[in-house]
Structure formats: structure tokens, C-alpha cells
């Protein structure tokens, strides 16, 4: 029977009355039968427990029907006990009948007492534990808000994904070499795509390695342009739990780490530095790490770095292992692959066995294809010496896998090549890639996700989810794509095969202020690209030469400097629909201008800013962006833009449909002007830890369909005006650990279908009006709330509840 959640339950009065009767009759009643003495003891135990529940306005868990029976029994008991005293004096013959009734009463009161004791003990422990967790997590988050901006560099060891063949012996050799006394740093070297990273990951998951280093295994991707300060900050934060200020230089950060590593109580640490390239920054990084005490360092690189000892050259797979890897990769969904000819298979395996990445990619591309495709691929591979081939021949080998894509799936090749728009070894947000595909291919979110899944199946991308519910309810802000640097190189290689003025996508990588000759001399212009990506480094001065690019529809700017100006030539991009500005460094880039540029972009539909410090909207004569539908801020500094904003936002953004504000730590209040955009349909504010309240003007968003307030840990209440959002379909307040209640009139949201209130531990009772949500189909909540919903669910016929057993707040620190 479902448990009733009834605040106080109204039991204090009858139990107190019963206790008074027992006290009044005193010893006379107790002498009638020992059962009465037990009843008195239990009643005296129950009274303070009931009082505690009533004082805390808690919910009492007890079967509703039995609760009503208990109340009736208490009323009978108040009459029964005086009669017992009379029987003791005058009617001994009926004493046994009344003793039986008293025993039944004793049993029922005893059961109720036991439930109260269990509930109060459990709730007390749960509340204390939960309060402690919340306090600890909030304290840690508040004390390290600076570190939140380094979320792109994870130190966690990746999970083992996909096929893992032929690595047992290399792992054992690595252990023998690295664990040897006197060896502190070991370089694993091989061509790109040969499995260095896979071997390093497999090494970290080895049982003996995990026993030796316990939790102290840190895995960091360094890449060709290492951000040394970001690497050190991430390591120190992970090991020492304290923040390294941005004012600290690299040498000071190294000293901090050296002191931390020198602590006598610290267990040994394993550092894995993955994908280290040749260069002065990398050499300095390895030199500093090689002097660190109490640690071992495993490096993967295409270079040997002989100054740091004899490297370990990763050997190619054996014929047997290469054949097994190929067969596994070609067998999608565990189907038995139908190879057209064993000789063709052997030729492909022989040609690619030195590069497991190429072997897997080609196998996946051939799965389910016809015999002519297999033969054509085999011929292409046989033309070059891929066993001992160069990087160029490797790229040609991988290119054959894309050539095998069927005509009806050519969009996959386009999406794959678009991923070359971003710097190597970077996490690419799924939400950002959705914007690109929406403009270039007119795809919706489902179609884009389907293409990404197909690329993942073909081993052309990897996906990263920071949370298990990453794709629930169209929420993609914590979902990422990553790509092997060789595969990114392939995308760039394929793009660069065409003349610059003929390319449909154009990637430009600027080091310091050295522009390519075709650009600085204005050759091969105008360019005809629909997608233009420009990456600049930390030394870039924002002195832009002119460019003619009238066909560009998606502009991706990847700044690496502390300040940045949008190029003036963007003003003439009359077809521009999506503007993406994404800083790839650890600090926010200050956008020193840009509003004058955007005044000229009348067809702009989507703006996405990541790790950008946004200037104030005030004092700028902004023209209305009539076509802008979506605006996204991710890990941006937005306080200057929104505080004391004097412009009428609804005039500038009259047709905005969606706004996302994610991981913006200085976002303290929702501008009232945003609440005046009548066409807004989706408002998403997630992981904004300084947001404590929302304005009552929120109720003006009469067309809002989705309101997502996930992980705003200091948000204490929702405005009552939320009940005026009559078009609202999806409400997400999950992980709002400071939220105390739901609005009383939430039942007015007659179109509400989804309510996610998982991990809102302070909310213990729901408004009675919730019963009126006839269209509510899904509620994600905790167990106690789910029980209450089960009781009212007959009125909510389509409702499905999902509850989880424990509140775990560790995700806040991911």
C-alpha cells in the first residue's frame, strides 16, 4: 500500500489525551494487566517523536488507511482504559476479553512507534548527511570558482572504449621500464594513429598500476600548443584542492607543484602527458616534470625526446592481432561480417597494420558495403607502402575510408570535415556543432545527433558526456565531441586539396601576426567559402588585413589572446547566419569591440560565445537583430553586459526564440529586459552558481515552452509569476540544491509535461495544486516525492515517475 505523506498527521492531540488518561488512573490501571504498562511506555515514547515531526512540518510515511484506523483505535482506547479499571474492581470474569483488546491496541501502537523511530533516525541521518554534503560542496565550489573555467582540461583517466587488441605485452613492457628504480620519465613514441594514447589509457587501467598509484593517476592532453599554466592549475587543483591565481607565472606554479609533490605523506603520483609535440614549450614542460619528486611520468609523442632517456618505440600489431582488430571493427552491432574475399581482407590488413586507427576506420567504413567497394579500397591501399609509409600516405589511407561513404550519406563526410574548424585536442560542444549544421545543412538537433552517432560508430569522432543525463530533454551543454589529431589533420588535408578561392570551407591558422601570403597580398579573393574558421594565438594583436568573403554563412573565430577585436571585414558578410567566437585558452578573452560589427549583420540567426568577456550593452546604438533566433553564452563573463543595462533588450532582440547561459559564474540576476521578449520559447540557465533569485517579470514570457534552471545551487525560490507561463511544457530545476519550494500555483501550468526536480533535497512537500497538472507525463524526483505522486497519480493518468535512491553532489565538481 502506498505511503501517505501527511505533515504532522494530526496525531499529537489524541496521543497526548491518551497519555493523560493513563496518568490519571495511575497504579490502578497498571495493576490490571502488564499490557497497560507497555502501552503507557510506548505512548510516552511516541509523543516527542510526533511533536518533532509536527515542529519540522515533516511528512509522515505511513499507510493512509492504517493511519485512519489508528486514529479510530486511539479514540476507542480513551474509552477502553476507564472500563478496564472498573473491571478490575467489579467484573473479573470479563477481564480476559478486555486484555485481548488491550494487547491488540498495544501491538498497533507498537508498530506505529517502530515506524516513527526508524523514520526519525533515518531522516535525521539523511538530513545531517545531506546538509553536510551540500555545505561542503557549495563551500568548495565558492572557493574555487576560478577553476570552473578550466573544465575543458580534464585530468581524469579516459575510459577504455571500443576494441583493445594486442596491448597486453606492451603494457607489461611499459611497467618493467617505468617501474625500474632511477627511471622517472618514459616516452612512448610512434607515428600518429599507431595507438600510443590507447596504450597509455590501457596502462592506467592495469590492476598493478592502479594498486601502486591508487587515486593519484592524472591523464593530461598536452597537444602542439601546450597551455602550461592550465596544465599546472588542473594538476594542483586535483592534488592539492586549492586555487592557483592567474597572476602566478609558470615558474611559480611549478614551484607550488614541486612543494606539493614533496610532502612526505603523499602517495606516489603517475602523470600521463599525452600527445606532446616537439618545441620549446614542450621541452620546458618535460624538463620541469622530470625533476618532480615522488612521481612517474609517462609521455606519448611522435617525437623521441632523447634528452630524457631511451624512449619506448611502440611496435606494430602482429598479423594475428591486426586481423582480429579488423574483423571486430568491421562487425557492427555484433553482426557477422560478410567479407567478399579473404585475400582482399589480408591485403587491407597488411597495408594498414602499423596504424590501428586506420585499420579500425577503414573496417567500419567497409562494413556492409558491396564487393566492388572492398576491391576499390584494397587497390587504393596497395598503391602505397602503408606499412612503413609517411604521414601523407597515412592520410591517403584514411581518405579511402571517407571515399567509401555511400552517396546517400555524403552529409557525414561534410560534418566530418567541418570538425576541422576547431583547434586540435579541443572538446567541441555538441550544442555549438548543432548550430553549424542547422545553418549549413538545415538539420534539426535529432538529425545532427544522428550524424554524430554515425561518425562515432565509424571511429571518426569520440563523444564525451560529463553527466549521465547529458542528452535528456534536449540538453547538450555538457556533451562534447573530441577527435584524434590525425583525423583532424585529415579533415584539414581534404579541405586544402582545393584552391583557396574554390573551397566551400576555409580554415586559417595564424601564428603571432603572420598571415598567409594569399591573404596579406589579397590574392585569390573573393573566397567562396560558406564556412570560415580563423584561429589565432596568444600573441595576436587583432590587426586584421581585409578579406572579401561574401558567401560566408558560418564564421568561427578561435582566439587565444586576452583581448580580441572582431575584424571589420565581417561587416560585409551579408549572408552570415551563425557567429561563433570560442576562446580555447584557460582565461576569458575580452571582446573589446563587436557591437558595431553586428549592427551590419542583418541576417544573423545564431550567436554562440564561449569563454568570452562581454562588454556592456549600454552606450551603444544597437540596431535590432530581426532574424536572431538563438543566443548562447558558455563560461562567459556577462556581468558587465547585463548589469545596469540601459538598452531595451526586447527592441534589439525582438524575435529571439532561445537563450542559453551556461557556466557563467558572474551571472547574478536575470535582466528584466529579457523577460520582455514575448517570442522567447526556451530559457536555459545552468551551472550559474551566483544566481539566487529570478524576477517576478518572468511571468511575462507568455510563449515560453522550456525553462531550464539546472544546477543553479544558490537559487532559493521560483517567482510565483511562473504560474502565468501557460505554454510551458518542460521545467527543469534539477540539482538546485538550495531551492526550498515550488510555487503554490504551479498547477496553473496546464500544458506542463515534464518536471525534473531530481536532487532538490530541501523540497520535501509539493503544492496541492500539482494534482491539477493533467498533462504531466514525466517527473524525475527523489523517492519521498515519488511516493506522494504515486498517491495522486490516479488523477494524473499519464504520469510516469522516476526516482533515484541517493543524492550525490560530486558532479558539481566535475
Cell of 304: 623521441
pLDDT the model gives residue 323 = 86
**Cα pseudo-dihedral 29, 34, 39, 42, rounded to 10:** 130
CA distances (Å), 51 to each of 8, 16, 46, 316, 584, in order?
A: 8, 10, 9, 74, 58
Helices (H), 419-536: 430-440, 445-457, 485-495, 517-520
Provide the β-strand partners of residue 514.
511
pLDDT the model gives residue 612 = 94
In the chain, which residues have pLDDT < 70? Answer: 1-19, 21-38, 40-74, 77-102, 104-105, 108-153, 162-163, 240-247, 264-266, 332-340, 383-391, 393, 464-474, 618-620, 644-646, 792-798, 803-814
Distance CA 693, CA 698 (A): 11
End-to-end CA distance of the chain: 40
pLDDT the model gives residue 476 = 77
Distance CA 637, CA 614 (A): 6
Percent of the residues in the chain that have a pLDDT greater than 70, as a whole number: 73
Provide the β-strand partners of residue 480.
429, 464
Distance CA 566, CA 41 (A): 79
The residue length of the chain stands at 814
- Residue indicated by cell numbers 602505397: 384
Q: What is the 3-state secondary structure (H, E, C) of 469-527?
A: CCCHHHCCCCEEEECCHHHHHHHHHHHCCCCHHHCCEEEEEEECCECCHHHHCCCCCCC
Distance CA 337, CA 254 (A): 52
Distance CA 271, CA 298 (A): 6
Q: CB–CB of 203/172 below 8 Å?
A: no
Percent of the chain as helix, strand, coil, to the nearest 5: 45, 15, 40
Distance CA 486, CA 191 (A): 10
> 120-124: long-range contacts (C-beta < 8 A, 24 or more apart)?
120/49, 120/52, 120/53, 123/58
Distance CA 529, CA 501 (A): 8
For residue 686, what is the DSSP state?
E
Q: What digits encode the pLDDT tens for the residues 678-692?
A: 999 999 999 998 898
Residue of 316, 357, 328, 365 whose CA lies nearest to 166:
316
Distance CA 733, CA 496 (A): 46
347 three-state secondary structure: helix
Strand order in the sheet with 217-223: 217-223, 269-276, 295-301, 185-189, 312-313
Q: What digits encode the pLDDT tens for the residues 589-604?
A: 998 877 778 888 889 9
Distance CA 785, CA 767 (A): 11
Q: What digits encode the pLDDT tens for the residues 515-554?
A: 999 998 888 888 999 999 999 998 899 899 999 999 999 9
pLDDT the model gives residue 202 = 93
- Residue indicated by cell numbers 552558481: 689
Question: Parallel, antiparallel, or unpaired for β 59-63 and 3-7?
Answer: antiparallel
Q: On the CB side of 183, how many CA atoms lie within 13 Å of its CA?
A: 17
Cell of 501: 578561392
Residue of 774, 778, 780 whose CA lies nearest to 748:
774
pLDDT the model gives residue 92 = 44
Q: What angle do CA 118, 123, 125 make, to 5 degrees?
A: 100
pLDDT the model gives residue 374 = 82
pLDDT the model gives residue 383 = 65
- Residue indicated by cell numbers 583525423: 487
Backbone angles phi, psi at 274, to 5 degrees: -95, 140
Q: CB–CB of 601/579 below 8 Å?
A: yes
pTM beyond 0.75 = no
pLDDT the model gives residue 62 = 46
For residue 514, what is the DSSP state?
B
Distance CA 20, CA 434 (A): 70
Q: What is the 3-state secondary structure (H, E, C) of 453-468?
A: HHHHHCCCCEEEECCC
Q: CB–CB of 207/260 below 8 Å?
A: no
Burial call 213-230: b when 16+ CB within 10 Å, e when fewer = beebbbbbbbbebbbbbb
Strand order in the sheet with 428-429: 428-429, 479-482, 462-465
Provide the β-strand partners of residue 219.
272
Question: Parallel, antiparallel, or unpaired for β 612-613 and 658-662?
Answer: unpaired
Q: What digits encode the pLDDT tens for the residues 23-36?
A: 665 555 555 456 66
Q: What digits encode the pLDDT tens for the residues 241-276?
A: 566 666 677 788 888 888 888 775 567 899 999 999
Backbone angles phi, psi at 378, to 5 degrees: -65, -40
Q: CB–CB of 753/776 below 8 Å?
A: yes
Provide the β-strand partners of residue 506.
532
For residue 765, what is the DSSP state?
-
Cell of 720: 510565483
- Dmax over CA atoms of the chain, in Å, equals 120
pLDDT the model gives residue 681 = 97
For residue 504, what is the DSSP state?
S
Q: CB–CB of 702/728 below 8 Å?
A: no
Burial (0-12, 13-18, 19+ Cβ within 10 Å), 20: exposed
Cell of 215: 587515486
Neighbours of 497 (CB within 10 A): 8
Q: H or E segment at 132?
A: helix 95-143
Distance CA 449, CA 447 (A): 5
For residue 422, what is the DSSP state?
S
Neighbours of 773 (CB within 10 A): 22
pLDDT the model gives residue 733 = 95
CA distances (Å), 445 to each of 49, 473, 475, 780, in order?
A: 53, 12, 10, 23
pLDDT the model gives residue 83 = 64
Amino acid at each position: 500500500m502506498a505511503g501517505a505523506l501527511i505533515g504532522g498527521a494530526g496525531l499529537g492531540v489524541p496521543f497526548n489525551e491518551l497519555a493523560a488518561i493513563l496518568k490519571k488512573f495511575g497504579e490502578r490501571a497498571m495493576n490490571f494487566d502488564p499490557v497497560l504498562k507497555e502501552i503507557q511506555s510506548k505512548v510516552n515514547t511516541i509523543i516527542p517523536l510526533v511533536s518533532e515531526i509536527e515542529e519540522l512540518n515533516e511528512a509522515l510515511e505511513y499507510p493512509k488507511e492504517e493511519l485512519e484506523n489508528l486514529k479510530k483505535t486511539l479514540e476507542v482506547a480513551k474509552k477502553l482504559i476507564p472500563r478496564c479499571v472498573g473491571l478490575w474492581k467489579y467484573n473479573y470474569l470479563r477481564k480476559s476479553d478486555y486484555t485481548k483488546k488491550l494487547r491488540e491496541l498495544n501491538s498497533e501502537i507498537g508498530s506505529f512507534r517502530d515506524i516513527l523511530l526508524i523514520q526519525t533516525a533515518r531522516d535525521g541521518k539523511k538530513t545531517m548527511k545531506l546538509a553536510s554534503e551540500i555545505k561542503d560542496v557549495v563551500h568548495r565550489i565558492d572557493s574555487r570558482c576560478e577553476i570552473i573555467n578550466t573544465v575543458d582540461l580534464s585530468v581524469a583517466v579516459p575510459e577504455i572504449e571500443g576494441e583493445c587488441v594486442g596491448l597486453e605485452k606492451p603494457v607489461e613492457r611499459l611497467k618493467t621500464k617505468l617501474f625500474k628504480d632511477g627511471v622517472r620519465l618514459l616516452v612512448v613514441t610512434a607515428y600518429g594513429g599507431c595507438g600510443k594514447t590507447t596504450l597509455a589509457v590501457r596502462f592506467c587501467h592495469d590492476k598493478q598500476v592502479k594498486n601502486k598509484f591508487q587515486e593519484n593517476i592524472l591523464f593530461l592532453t598536452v597537444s602542439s600548443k601546450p597551455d602550461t599554466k592550465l596544465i599546472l592549475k588542473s594538476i594542483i587543483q586535483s592534488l592539492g584542492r586549492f586555487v592557483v591565481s592567474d597572476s602566478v607565472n609558470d615558474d611559480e606554479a611549478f614551484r607550488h607543484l614541486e612543494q606539493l609533490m614533496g610532502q612526505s605523506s603523499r602517495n606516489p603520483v603517475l602523470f600521463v602527458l599525452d600527445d606532446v609535440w616537439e618545441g620549446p614549450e614542450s621541452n620546458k614542460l618535460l624538463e620541469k616534470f622530470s625533476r618532480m619528486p615522488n612521481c612517474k611520468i609517462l609521455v606519448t609523442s611522435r617525437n623521441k625526446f632523447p634528452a630524457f632517456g631511451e624512449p619506448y618505440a611502440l611496435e606494430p600489431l602482429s598479423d594475428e592481432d591486426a586481423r582480429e582488430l579488423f574483423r571486430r571493427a568491421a562487425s557492427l552491432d555484433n553482426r557477422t561480417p560478410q567479407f567478399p574475399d579473404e585475400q582482399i581482407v589480408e591485403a587491407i590488413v597488411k597495408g594498414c597494420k602499423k596504424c590501428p586507427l586506420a585499420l579500425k576506420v577503414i573496417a567500419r567504413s567497409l562494413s556492409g558495403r558491396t564487393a566492388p567497394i572492398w576491391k576499390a579500397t584494397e587497390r587504393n591501399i596497395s598503391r602505397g607502402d602503408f606499412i612503413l609509409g609517411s604521414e601523407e600516405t597515412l592520410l591517403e589511407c584514411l581518405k579511402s575510408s571517407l571515399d567509401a561513404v555511400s552517396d546517400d550519406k555524403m552529409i557525414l563526410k561534410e560534418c566530418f570535415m567541418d570538425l576541422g574548424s576547431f583547434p586540435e585536442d579541443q572538446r567541441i560542444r555538441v550544442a555549438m556543432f548543432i548550430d553549424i549544421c542547422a545553418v549549413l545543412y538545415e538539420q534539426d538537433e535529432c538529425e545532427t545527433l544522428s550524424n554524430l552517432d554515425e561518425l562515432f560508430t565509424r571511429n571518426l569522432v569520440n563523444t564525451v558526456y560529463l553527466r549521465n543525463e547529458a542528452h535528456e530533454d534536449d540538453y547538450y551543454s555538457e556533451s562534447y565531441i573530441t577527435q584524434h589529431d590525425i583525423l583532424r589533420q585529415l579533415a584539414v588535408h581534404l579541405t586544402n586539396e582545393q584552391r583557396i578561392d574554390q573551397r566551400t570551407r576555409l580554415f586559417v591558422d595564424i601564428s603571432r601576426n603572420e598571415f598567409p601570403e594569399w591573404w596579406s597580398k589579397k590574392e585569390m579573393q573573393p573566397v567562396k567559402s560558406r564556412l570560415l574558421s580563423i584561429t589565432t594565438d596568444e600573441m595576436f594583436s587583432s590587426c586584421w588585413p581585409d578579406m572579401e568573403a561574401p558567401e560566408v554563412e558560418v564564421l568561427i573565430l578561435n582566439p587565444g589572446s586576452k583581448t580580441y577585436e572582431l575584424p571589420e571585414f565581417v561587416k560585409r558578410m551579408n549572408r552570415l547566419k551563425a557567429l561563433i567566437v570560442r576562446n580555447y585558452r584557460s582565461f576569458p578573452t575580452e571582446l573589446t569591440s563587436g557591437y558595431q560589427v553586428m549592427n551590419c549583420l542583418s541576417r544573423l540567426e545564431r550567436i554562440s560565445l564561449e569563454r568570452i568577456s562581454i562588454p556592456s550593452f549600454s552606450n551603444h546604438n544597437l540596431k535590432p537583430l530581426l532574424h536572431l533566433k538563438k543566443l548562447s553564452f558558455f563560461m562567459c563573463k556577462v556581468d558587465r553586459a547585463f548589469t545596469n543595462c540601459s538598452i531595451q533588450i526586447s527592441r534589439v532582440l525582438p524575435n529571439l526564440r532561445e537563450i542559453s547561459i551556461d557556466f557563467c559564474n558572474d551571472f547574478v540576476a536575470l535582466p528584466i529586459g529579457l523577460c520582455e521578449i514575448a517570442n522567447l520559447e526556451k530559457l536555459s540557465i545552468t551551472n550559474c552558481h551566483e544566481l539566487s533569485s529570478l524576477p517576478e517579470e518572468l511571468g511575462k514570457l507568455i510563449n515560453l515552452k522550456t525553462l531550464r534552471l539546472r544546477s543553479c545551487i544558490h537559487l532559493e525560490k521560483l517567482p510565483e509569476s511562473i504560474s502565468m507561463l501557460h505554454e510551458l511544457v518542460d521545467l527543469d530545476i534539477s540539482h538546485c540544491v538550495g531551492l526550498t519550494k515550488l510555487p503554490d500555483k504551479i498547477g496553473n501550468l496546464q500544458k506542463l509535461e515534464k518536471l525534473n526536480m531530481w536532487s532538490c533535497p530541501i523540497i520535501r512537500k509539493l503544492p496541492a495544486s500539482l494534482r491539477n497538472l493533467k498533462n504531466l507525463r514525466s517527473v524525475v524526483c527523489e523517492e519521498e516525492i515519488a511516493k506522494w505522486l504515486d498517491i495522486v497519480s490516479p488523477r494524473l493518468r499519464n504520469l510516469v515517475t522516476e526516482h533515484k535512491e541517493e543524492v550525490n553532489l560530486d558532479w558539481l565538481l566535475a
